[in-house]
Chains A and B, each alone.
Chain A
């Protein structure tokens, strides 16, 4: 029996890069999954993302994030929320550059290509934090509050640093028939 998780695009970094873009989201599927691993920054930094329209990242202030961060050494959690005024999604906490294969996660993307709906995403992310030298995890929800037809997702680091060689980002579609 053929599977129902269909690979759309995969990007593996073979050198340090400032951005990674996955495209190919269309009306063929309603729900997409992005899995990524080893998205380690070359200098301590945090991963962010934007939707793309016709392959171009949308930089308007329409991004909202609500998430909860778990800090292992402190045994604490903290909320991370932004309401509508962000120009990108805040995905991860600050990540340590010296830890190989750091920064891993799974994103579920909903209604990205539906021009009559906002785009929605849930995230499940973890890595080795650059502060407190500890495991940090985040679980959250995200929305792009514009009714546009998005065709991809664009990753970059908050302070403009690079994602090192060896990172892999893969976009899958979930078959609906």
Chain B
């Protein structure tokens, strides 16, 4: 019986006041599927959403309109809202960052087949606060609709005028 099937590939912490944080050379043929955890302790004064893009086989960020996703943004004080796009330039709906109310964006992602020459599928859950602050968890599904053999990811803010700092990203390979 094998032990330790969730294997840490990378744990990195970003610098401060940045709008994107790339983690490269983490996806390979060594694993098919991955678990990624993201923690963002600090953002700008006003909240902004976080999103995900992938890095192709050369390490270049894929920013074409080949992302498709749908997410539900729950709200502790209101009904949840559904958002979706079939021509997105990123996978949206991955929590929010701000420096308000002790906010800390916490996200866990399951990423399927990123290094195979096929679509890359993502499920995610996030929990964070908006600027009220209201507690707003997210349930998110996404796909990159290209055959890129991705080797990394980039974690980004939706609004470049609202940077974040000290982003922590851990990438685990799921061994079979």
Take A35-B33, A101-B113, A135-B69 as given contacts and tell me if A75 and B174 are in contact as well, using a CB distance cutoff of 8 Å.
no
Take A7-B1, A38-B113, A126-B121 as given contacts and tell me if A70 and B82 are in contact as well, using a CB distance cutoff of 8 Å.
yes
Least Cβ–Cβ distance between B62 and chain A, in angstroms = 16
Interface contact B5-A126, CB-CB below 8 Å: no
B6: chain A residues within 8 A (beta carbon): 3, 5
Interface contact A168-B141, CB-CB below 8 Å: no
Least Cβ–Cβ distance between B26 and chain A, in angstroms = 17
Q: How far is the CA of A168 from the CA of B116 in the complex (A)?
A: 14
A135: chain B residues within 8 A (beta carbon): 68-70, 86, 121, 141-143
Q: A124 contacts which of B4, B71, B110, B142 (Cβ < 8 Å)?
A: B110
Interface contact A128-B72, CB-CB below 8 Å: no
Q: B141 contacts which of A37, A75, A126 (Cβ < 8 Å)?
A: A126
Least Cβ–Cβ distance between A73 and chain B, in angstroms = 5
Instruction: Give the contact-size bracket for chain B.
Output: 35 or more
Q: How far is the CA of A12 from the CA of B176 in the complex (A)?
A: 10
Q: A35-B174, A134-B68 are in contact. List 15 more A-B contacts (CB 8 A).
A: A3-B6, A3-B7, A7-B2, A37-B112, A72-B68, A72-B143, A73-B84, A74-B84, A101-B113, A104-B110, A126-B121, A134-B86, A135-B70, A139-B139, A168-B32
Residues on B lying within 8 angstroms of A by beta carbon are 1-7, 32-33, 68-72, 82-86, 110, 112-113, 116, 118-119, 121-123, 139, 141-143, 174-176
